[in-house]
Amino acid sequence: MRKSLLAFAAAATLGAAAFAVSPAIVDPVAQIAAKTTLAGAVDLKTCSASIIKLTGSQPDDHALMMTNGHCVTGSNTPADEVVVNEAYGRARGNPFDANGKLLSETLFVDKILYSTMKDTDLGIYQLAKTYKQLAELNVPALLLSDQHPVAGTPIDIPTGFHKVVYSCAIDGFVPKVKEGVWTWTDSIRYTPAKPCGTQGGSSGSPIVDPATGKVVGVNNTGNANGTQCAVNSPCEVDANGKTTSVKSGEYGQQTFQIYGCLGAGSTIDLSKPGCALPKPKK
């Protein structure tokens, strides 16, 4: 997991300025092709996040903020836990505006729309503000891709916590990535020869295809010390069950599956036919 160094230490024990409102209202979808910036990123203090929008989202829908499941429910999250539509009701994070400036405006979260570390590491908050209200603050939303990402695609990872944009490419996809008690399927592996260099605090950052500006995944972990399958040191399990560990290996999770579970008004409906997101135990 790529939480801040302070959060790493906690996991080990268990296994600025006022913002200026732009006079112009920007399009709430930021398609930052060619040059990825911090626009639409969010600093969660121990993790990172982004404001996301789907093609069917409307200006008056409550905005969605995407991060990792472990950034929502913590490093003690049970491997099979799935949280859906849980009231939250407090402030969570500061966004970057369309110019890449960190705002003092704190985002208020109405609910945890979805969060899990089962098969993926995904968390989605529903904000109190709508996309239209965020646009009035000059805060854009990043458009989520509805397609499975492709190996070899260059990627950027704008990270609110560190206020930097990491860059590398998709090396391929791992049938299973194991870390501690968690297992994630069809994970995105970044190029080991030219790593992104993500650090603690980059958990939850969007993975952006710079050619389209669309989000193709969410950054979630990296192997810190080469230990196999341990917390902060994930391992890979191939289709034949062979386990390998790559020191400094970096991984993310795919997000296109959200489209199949989208309900009206930017909500999540796990009962929709074809919805592939992990579901709570019955």
Which of 144, 175, 206 is a domain's end point?
Answer: 144
Amino acid at 278: P
Residues 113 and 218 in one domain: no
Q: What is the CATH number of the domain that holds 200?
A: 2.40.10
Range of the domain at 56: 28-144
Residues 94 and 158 in one domain: no
Q: What is the pLDDT of residues 91-124, one digit of tens each?
A: 999 999 999 999 999 999 999 999 999 999 999 9
pLDDT: which is higher, 62 or 29: 62
Is residue 160 in some structural domain?
Answer: yes
pLDDT at 3: 67
As for how many domains the chain has, the answer is: 2
Is residue 114 in some structural domain?
Answer: yes
pLDDT at 91: 93
pLDDT at 43: 99
Residue 152 above 70 pLDDT?
yes
Among candidates 85, 75, 114, 90, which has minimal Cα distance to 203? 75
Residues 82 and 173 in one domain: no
Residues 147, 231, 205: CA angle, nearest 5 degrees: 35
Half-sphere exposure of 101 (CA within 13 A, CB side): 13
Is residue 264 in some structural domain?
Answer: no
Is residue 16 in some structural domain?
Answer: no
Three-state SS string across 173-205, please?
EEEEEEECCEEEEEEEEECCCCCCCCCCCCCCC
CA distance 142 to 10: 31
Is residue 17 in some structural domain?
Answer: no
Residues 133 and 160 in one domain: no
* pTM for this model (two decimals): 0.89
Q: For residue 71, what is the enclosing H or E element?
A: helix 69-73
Q: What is the pLDDT of residues 74-84, one digit of tens each?
A: 989 999 999 99
Q: Say if residues 192 and 248 touch (Cβ distance below 8 Å).
A: yes
